[in-house]
Amino acid sequence: DAMVIQNPRYQVTQFGKPVTLSCSQTLNHNVMYWYQQKSSQAPKLLFHYYDKDFNNEADTPDNFQSRRPNTSFCFLDIRSPGLGDAAMYLCATSREKAGSSYNEQFFGPGTRLTVL
Amino acid sequence: AQKVTQAQTEISVVEKEDVTLDCVYETRDTTYYLFWYKQPPSGELVFLIRRNSFDEQNEISGRYSWNFQKSTSSFNFTITASQVVDSAVYFCALRREDSNYQLIWGAGTKLIIKP
């Protein structure tokens, strides 16, 4: 089945120690997103890639970076995690075409990040 | 201003009861898109439905049905004969036509189905 895969499902890191979360997709969608979701809150968009074009949300901290080496993979790098970065990180994909109506986003299972 | 309001923070019903989750949205756009997502305890957001602003037809999918009313800016979700597996947080979301792919999310409604 076509899907969005996130690894690892659970990640523990130390305060200030860089961490990388990965996302892969078999849907061949051209747009990939990274969301942060804290407990009892709605997801918050950090950034997205439209094909190779990176789009950062205005309020995303510089501590968060992303890479998309190819269509299938996308990485979230947290350079110096703080206690406030502990959250669920969700990757999503969608197929979008300029001038067409927007399509739904498909989400991966998420990576729960703990910062000690 | 663009906004999605899910006024019901938590709903608890007994299995087999019908339950309606409310979603009220605000937008000045004439073209927009509405979504419902389900987030079970496992954490994965599951897409349920997309509705375009120019399509006011209600939809039924098994035990799920959606009532879209532009006159009241509402897009409500009803589960008929609820089951324990329906227990989850349900999010309603709005996307504007020129939003650069940003979804405006409601706060979510936590639905608890008791056996």
- The pLDDT tens digits for A82-107 are 999 999 999 999 988 776 666 789 99
Residues 6+ away with beta carbon under 8 Å from B104 = B2, B3, B4, B93, B94, B95, B96
Instruction: Report the pLDDT value the prediction gives residue A66, as an integer from 0 to 100.
Output: 96
Nearest-Cα residue of chain B relative to residue A99: B97
Of A88, A96, A106, the CB nearest to B43: A88
Torsion of Cα atoms, A13 then A56 then A100 then A104, to 10°: 20
**pLDDT cut 90: percent of chain A above it:** 84
- Chain B: nearest CA to A82, how far in angstroms? 22
pLDDT tens track for A1-18: 669 999 999 999 999 999
For each successive 10 residues of chain B (115 residues), what is the average pLDDT?
A: 93 97 94 94 91 87 93 96 97 82 91 96
Nearest-Cα residue of chain B relative to residue A108: B44
In angstroms, the Cα distances linking A73 to A57, B49, B64, B69 are 20, 26, 34, 39
